[in-house]
Amino acid sequence: MSVRWHAAARLAPHTRYRIGGTAPYLGEANDPAALRAALEYFAGEPFLVLGAGANTLISDAGVDRPVIVLGREFKRVEIRDTVIEAGAAAGIPGVVQAARRHARRGWSFLEAVPGTIGGALAMNAGSRDTGIWDRVEWVDALVPGEPGPVRLRPADVRPGYRHIHSPDGIIFLAARLRAEPGELAAIEEAHQTYRATKLQSQPYDVPSCGSVWTNPPGHSAWRLVDGVGMRGERRGGARVSELHSNFIVNEGGASAEDVIDLMLETRRRVHEAHGIELVPEIRLWGFPVDLMVALGASVAGAERGS
């Protein structure tokens, strides 16, 4: 099945932030054949892959590349004896709840985390102590320069805190994740406790992009943000959350410029007060290189959204 492309497509509705301009084309690939056809059509030209837009801030000017969304067949989730097999477009909440319902231990660390499995793999999503790659047996991906899907294991990408080492342009397709059986009551309690803590301490009732900054070694980002007086600071429709100061929320009509202004001011204050250079956890699409450098963002790896 071929991809149906939409020209001058608005991207804001496809992100949790509800912020961002347009892409020249937006298309959904519902199966591997459609994805292969799309990649052949681009013939080496750059493009972007968007998941649920859970950790992606898109420039008000939008992006200058076509954007692909993975659809139907990439959303499958299958529970096996000791593993879960999930497509890259499967939602993290769906995978976590499947593990919970089937009494599979070790998955409470992703409770109340939005996004897709593909996005989680790209940034090694998880808690401060555990990332999704700690549960990976293997991942199938399209790697630039390879003629077909490549099977990767954790040692191939050397996962770390909120990052992996992978080539630019990689597209995750599916993953096999360890999910050992456990005692249902204990699993239910672990999930409920973790979820309750997250819902009480993080803003879920307004659009956000999750944690804005990664935790610097030996520090908590939110404590640093608090310490320089940024909690509650506002620019236009964007505000540093009163509930959790490592979140910047869209209180209505926020622009990407509003969010960026808060990020720049936060980073400046933290550096002046502590000599620490904050690094964004969120992905930034469509911004000029000099601004990316000023934000401490990885220019090469910025354009992968979950």
162 among known catalytic residues: yes
Q: List the one residue out of 73, 198, 54 whose CA is nearest residue 116.
A: 54
50 versus 144: which is more confidently predicted?
50
CB 260 within 8 A of CB 270: no
Mean of the per-residue pLDDT values for the chain?
A: 94
Out of 28, 233, 281, 303, the active site residue is 281
pLDDT reported for residue 264: 98
Over residues 267-305, the pLDDT tens digits come to 999 999 999 999 999 999 999 999 999 999 987 645 545
Q: What is the model's pLDDT at position 40?
A: 84
Residue type, 270: V
Q: What pLDDT is stored for residue 301 in this prediction?
A: 46
* Mean pLDDT, residues 54-71: 96
Annotated active-site residue 281? The verdict is: yes
What tokens were used for 158?
A: 């050397």
Classified as helix, coil or strand, 225 is helix
In the chain, list all ranges with CATH 3.30.465.10.
Answer: 76-200
pLDDT score of 2: 77
Decide: 70 and 268 in contact? Cβ < 8 Å.
no
Extended strands (E) in the chain:
5-10, 22-29, 48-50, 56-58, 67-70, 77-79, 83-87, 136-142, 150-152, 171-178, 234-235, 238-240, 248-250, 283-285
Whether domain 205-282 has CATH 3.30.530.20: the reply is no
The answer to whether residues 289 and 302 touch, using CB atoms and an 8 Å cutoff, is no
The pLDDT-based confidence of 193 (bands split at 50, 70, 90) is very high
Q: What is the pLDDT of residues 206-235, one digit of tens each?
A: 999 999 999 999 999 999 999 999 999 999
Q: Quick one: average pLDDT of 189-203?
A: 95
Q: Are strands 171-178 and 5-10 parallel, antiparallel or unpaired?
A: unpaired
Give the pair of three-digit tokens for residue 14.
């496809």
Q: Is the pLDDT of residue 1 over 60?
A: no
Among candidate residues 133, 118, 207, 164, the one with its CA nearest the CA of residue 298: 164
pLDDT tens track for 72-124: 999 999 999 999 999 999 999 999 999 999 999 999 999 999 999 999 999 99
Nearest to 139 by CA among 125, 127, 128, 153: 153
pLDDT at 64 > cutoff 80 = yes
Which helix (H) or strand (E) segment is 259 a member of?
helix 256-274
pTM: 0.92
CATH architecture of 76-200: 2-Layer Sandwich (3.30)
Cβ–Cβ < 8 Å for 125, 211: no
Q: Which of the following is catalytic: 211, 245, 255, 306? A: 211
Per-residue pLDDT reduced to its tens digit, 3-35: 889 999 999 999 999 999 999 999 999 999 999
The pLDDT value recorded for residue 300 is 61
Q: Single out the catalytic residue among 162, 235, 269, 283.
A: 162
> Could you report the per-residue pLDDT of 114-150, keeping only the tens digit for each?
999 999 999 999 998 999 999 999 999 999 888 889 9
- Start-end ranges of CATH 3.90.78.10 in the chain? 205-282
26 phi/psi in degrees, rounded to 5: -130, 130
Cα gap 156→179, rounded to integer Å: 21
